[in-house]
A and B are shown apart, each in its own frame.
Chain A
Amino acid sequence: MSIVFKPDETFRGDYSYRNSEAAILRFPFPFPEDRYMYSVNMEPHDGKGPSGAYRHGFDVDEHYIAECRDRAITLERDPGRCQVLPHMMTAQWDTLELLMDRLSTDYPEHFSLNKSGPDFGATWTWINRPLGLEQSFVFGDAATLPCEPFEYITRQAQGDFAICDQREGTLFLDAGMVTSQADWSLDFNVGMNFMEWHGPVPLAHQAGVFERALKYLMMIRLGQPVRRLNWTMTVNPRLDTSPETFPEWGPDRASVTPENIGRKLHLRVELQTLWRLPRSNALLFPIRCYLAPLDDLVRVPKWGKRLSRVLGNLPPQLVEYKGLTRFLPTALDYLTPFDDGATLPVGTAADTACLTTTI
Chain B
Amino acid sequence: MNGSSLQLRVVAAAAISPSLRHLQLASADGAPLPPTGAGAHVLFNLPGAGRAHRNAYSLVNAPGSRSRYDIIVRRVTASRGGSAAVHERLQVGDALEAQWPANLFAPIRGARRHLMIAGGIGITPFLSYLQDASVRQTGCELHVCCRETEQRVFAPWLPADAPVSFHWDNEGHRLDIAALLGHQPAGTHLYVCGPSELNASVLNAAAAAGWPDDQVHTEHFGSGGGGEAFEAVLQKSGLSVQVAADESLLEAIERIGVATPCLCRGGACGVCVTTLLEGEAEHRDHFLSQTDQAAGRLIMPCVSRSRGPRLVLDL
Asked whether A168 is an interface residue with its Cβ less than 8 Å from the other chain, the reply is yes
A47 B268 Cβ-Cβ under 8 A: no
Asked whether B1 is an interface residue with its Cβ less than 8 Å from the other chain, the reply is yes
> Could you give, for residues 261-277 of chain A, a 1 whenever the CB lies within 8 Å of some chain B CB and a 0 otherwise?
00000000000000000
Contact A42 B264, CB 8 Å, known A216-B286, A225-B2: yes
Residues of B contacting A219 in the complex (Cβ-Cβ under 8 angstroms): 266
Q: How far is the CB of A339 from chain B (nearest CB, A)?
A: 28
B268 A224 Cβ-Cβ under 8 A: no
Residues of B contacting A97 in the complex (Cβ-Cβ under 8 angstroms): 35
Q: How far is the CB of A197 from chain B (nearest CB, A)?
A: 17
Contact A224 B2, CB 8 Å, known A87-B109, A89-B134: yes
B37 contacts which of A42, A57, A216, A279 (Cβ < 8 Å)?
Answer: A279
Asked whether B3 is an interface residue with its Cβ less than 8 Å from the other chain, the reply is yes
A120 B66 Cβ-Cβ under 8 A: yes
Contact A212 B286, CB 8 Å, known A219-B266, A280-B37: yes
Chain B interface extent, by class: 35 or more
A223 B110 Cβ-Cβ under 8 A: no
Q: Roughly how many angstroms separate A97 CA and B34 CA in the complex, as a whole number? A: 11
B34 A119 Cβ-Cβ under 8 A: no
Q: Roughly how many angstroms separate A225 CA and B100 CA in the complex, as a whole number? A: 13
Q: Roughly how many angstroms separate A281 CA and B64 CA in the complex, as a whole number? A: 12
A101 B264 Cβ-Cβ under 8 A: no
Q: Roughly how many angstroms separate A71 CA and B100 CA in the complex, as a whole number? A: 35
A213 B268 Cβ-Cβ under 8 A: yes
A281 B133 Cβ-Cβ under 8 A: no
Contact A278 B286, CB 8 Å, known A87-B110, A119-B65, A216-B264: no
Asked whether B103 is an interface residue with its Cβ less than 8 Å from the other chain, the reply is yes
B214 A223 Cβ-Cβ under 8 A: no
B62-91: which have CB < 8 Å to A? 63-67
Q: Roughly how many angstroms separate A5 CA and B65 CA in the complex, as a whole number? A: 37
B2 contacts which of A40, A47, A212, A213 (Cβ < 8 Å)?
Answer: A47
A222 B66 Cβ-Cβ under 8 A: no
**Interface of chain A, helix or strand or loop or mixed?**
loop
B32 A222 Cβ-Cβ under 8 A: no
Q: How far is the CB of B189 from chain A (nearest CB, A)?
A: 9
B214 A168 Cβ-Cβ under 8 A: yes
Asked whether A204 is an interface residue with its Cβ less than 8 Å from the other chain, the reply is no
Asked whether B269 is an interface residue with its Cβ less than 8 Å from the other chain, the reply is yes
Kindly name the residue among B39, B214, B264 whose own CB sees the greatest number of chain A CB atoms within 10 A.
Answer: B264
**Interface of chain B, helix or strand or loop or mixed?**
loop
Asked whether B273 is an interface residue with its Cβ less than 8 Å from the other chain, the reply is no
- Report the interface size for chain A: residues with CB under 8 A from the other chain: 45
Asked whether B315 is an interface residue with its Cβ less than 8 Å from the other chain, the reply is no
Q: Which residue of A is nearest B289, CB measured? A: A208
Q: Which residue of B is nearest A93, CB measured? A: B64
Q: Roughly how many angstroms separate A45 CA and B287 CA in the complex, as a whole number? A: 21
A223 B4 Cβ-Cβ under 8 A: yes
Q: How far is the CB of B24 from chain A (nearest CB, A)?
A: 13
> Could you give, for residues 138-181 of chain B, a 1 whenever the CB lies within 8 Å of some chain A CB and a 0 otherwise?
00000000000000000000000000000000000000000000
Q: Roughly how many angstroms separate A57 CA and B2 CA in the complex, as a whole number? A: 9
Q: Roughly how many angstroms separate A219 CA and B266 CA in the complex, as a whole number? A: 8
Residues of A contacting B132 in the complex (Cβ-Cβ under 8 angstroms): 90, 279
Kindly name the residue among A166, A208, A216 whose own CB sees the greatest number of chain B CB atoms within 10 A.
Answer: A216
B108 A279 Cβ-Cβ under 8 A: no
Contact A216 B269, CB 8 Å, known A119-B67, A221-B100, A223-B100: yes
Q: Roughly how many angstroms separate A89 CA and B110 CA in the complex, as a whole number? A: 11
Contact A43 B286, CB 8 Å, known A119-B66, A167-B110: no
Contact A165 B110, CB 8 Å, known A226-B264, A279-B35, A279-B64: yes
A90 B134 Cβ-Cβ under 8 A: yes
Q: What are 11 of the A-B contact pairs (CB < 8 Å)?
A: A40-B264, A45-B2, A118-B67, A216-B264, A222-B103, A223-B2, A223-B4, A279-B36, A279-B37, A279-B132, A280-B37
The interface of chain B, by Cβ under 8 A from chain A, is 1-4, 32, 34-40, 63-67, 100-103, 106, 108-110, 132-134, 214, 263-270, 286-287, 289
